[in-house]
Amino acid sequence: MTILAILQVLVLILIVAGSVLAVWLKDLLASVIALGASSLLLALQFYLLQAPDVAIAEAGVGAALTTAIFVLAIRKTRRKEEE
Amino acid sequence: MSVVVRTIARILIPVILVFGGYVILHGHLTPGGGFQGGAVAASAVALLLVAVGAPAVKKLKAPFSVLEDLGGVAFVVLGFLGIGFTFFANSLAGMGGLFGAPVPSGPNPGVLNTAGTVPLMNWAVGLKVLGGLGAVLVLFGLFGGDDDR
Amino acid sequence: MRYWTVLAAFAVVAGCLLLGGAGMRPFGAPRLDAMDQYFNARSQAEVAANNVVTAIVFDYRGYDTLGEATVLFVAVVGVALILRRVKR
């Protein structure tokens, strides 16, 4: 098992952890930040798999624009999720 | 938002715009292209919107819409340039004119003046994506009153 | 009762996905690569582009890019229609 494979497995575990955190958190702003971090790690995973085009698109759309749109939507509505 | 966010945004936005322009301009040589560069440049618009609030950038909505339409029209017109052969045929590649320098086979350092209609299409799609995503972001920010909390 | 239904549905879907994953090829070993070899060999001569991905996106598969541009246009038009300011 090379160092690159270990790095890929680590990044995949972090992606799953960020996604679970995004669903689990009650503070919606923190949830959006967790989703953005997960998306950025997904871009890193694309780069490690030698697809830099997809990595740039994922980092631009997934990490930046989606986070910005969610932050704007939270600013217009409530921040805390209700039971 | 706070003054820290505004100061950081004032420093970062030109850097992001220059990087987006680089990704679009070198789309036929390096990884990236029109869509990726346009998305990177639109993230600068998102940062501006989050930093200074939507009412301050209300004026940008109409230019973004016009940019989106112009990019789409330019893309279709560039596709029609090769209509003598087929739709989307690359009629400028290797002809010696604009973007027409020939490329030697195999690994070689990239020359900017190559690839025919591909760089022009990169610019068209890049401006289209920047305009479209920027207009969507400004519309989302302006929805439901002008409050800036 | 409902809990067990959800659990059974989850088990069935996960089992189907794992069964599909078991039949995948080894990582990085595609079998049908005639099209890849064509693009690698000809893109520099036909499109005069060093970046093969951009040559495919904007030249060989230009119709797909046109469809993507149309999708983006329709999305922007939809957002502009829904979020417009209604005069009262």
Asked, for residue C47, whether it belongs to a domain, the answer is yes
This complex has an ipTM of 0.76
Asked, for residue A82, whether it belongs to a domain, the answer is no
Q: For residue A55, how many C-alpha atoms fall within 13 Å in the half-sphere facing its CB?
A: 12
Show the domain range for A52.
3-76
Contact C80 B139 (CB under 8 A): yes
> What is the structure's pLDDT at B148?
46
- Please indicate if any CB of chain C lies within 8 Å of the CB of B108: yes
Residues C2, C7, C10, C16, Cα dihedral to 10°: -120
Q: What is the pLDDT of residues B92-101, one digit of tens each?
A: 766 666 776 7
**At which residue do the structure tokens 């085009």 appear?**
A53
Indicate whether C13 pLDDT > 90.
yes
Residue A80 three-state SS = strand
Indicate whether C50 pLDDT > 80.
no
> What is the structure's pLDDT at B141?
80
Which residues make Cβ contacts (< 8 Å) with residue B120, sequence separation at least 6? B74, B78, B92, B99
Asked, for residue C88, whether it belongs to a domain, the answer is no
Asked, for residue A35, whether it belongs to a domain, the answer is yes
Residue of B88, B94, B140 lying closest to C83 (CB–CB): B140
Higher-pLDDT residue of C28 and B29 is B29
Asked, for residue B119, whether it belongs to a domain, the answer is yes
Residues 2-21 of chain B whose Cβ lies under 8 A from any Cβ of chain C: none
**At which residue do the structure tokens 């417009």 appear?**
C84
Show the domain range for B10.
3-142
CA atoms of A47 and A51, how far apart (whole Å) = 5
Is the distance from CB of B116 to CB of B97 less than 8 angstroms?
no
Q: Which of A11-15, A73-77, B63-67, C59-63 has the highest mean pLDDT?
A: A11-15
Nearest-Cα residue of chain B relative to residue A64? B43
Residues 11-40 of chain B whose Cβ lies under 8 A from any Cβ of chain A: 23, 31-33, 35-36, 39-40
Helix (H) or strand (E) holding A46: helix A28-48
- Please indicate if any CB of chain C lies within 8 Å of the CB of B81: no
- Write out the two tokens for C42: 């000809």
> What is the structure's pLDDT at C28?
67
Neighbours of chain B (3+ CB pairs under 8 A): A, C
- What are the start-end ranges of the H helices in chain B? 3-25, 34-52, 61-80, 118-142
CA distances from B107 to A13, A51, B32, B115, C33 (A): 37, 19, 19, 15, 21
Asked, for residue B148, whether it belongs to a domain, the answer is no
Asked, for residue A27, whether it belongs to a domain, the answer is yes
Asked, for residue C87, whether it belongs to a domain, the answer is no
Higher-pLDDT residue of A76 and B95 is A76
- Number of structural domains (chain C) is 1
By the 10 Å C-beta count (0-12 exposed, 13-18 middle, 19+ buried), A3 is classed as exposed
Contact B46 A61 (CB under 8 A): no
> What is the structure's pLDDT at B106?
67
Q: Which residues pair with A27 in a beta bridge?
A: A80
Contact C48 B100 (CB under 8 A): yes
CA atoms of C68 and B65, how far apart (whole Å) = 17
Show the domain range for C20.
2-82
Mutate to test the interface with A, among B12, B15, B36 (most CBs of A within 10 A): B36
Mean pLDDT of C32-44: 77
Residue C32 three-state SS = coil
> What is the structure's pLDDT at C14?
94
Asked, for residue A81, whether it belongs to a domain, the answer is no
Which residues make Cβ contacts (< 8 Å) with residue A79, sequence separation at least 6? A27, A28, A29
**A15-24, A68-77, B35-44, C23-32: least confident range:** C23-32
By the 10 Å C-beta count (0-12 exposed, 13-18 middle, 19+ buried), B54 is classed as buried
- Number of structural domains (chain B) is 1
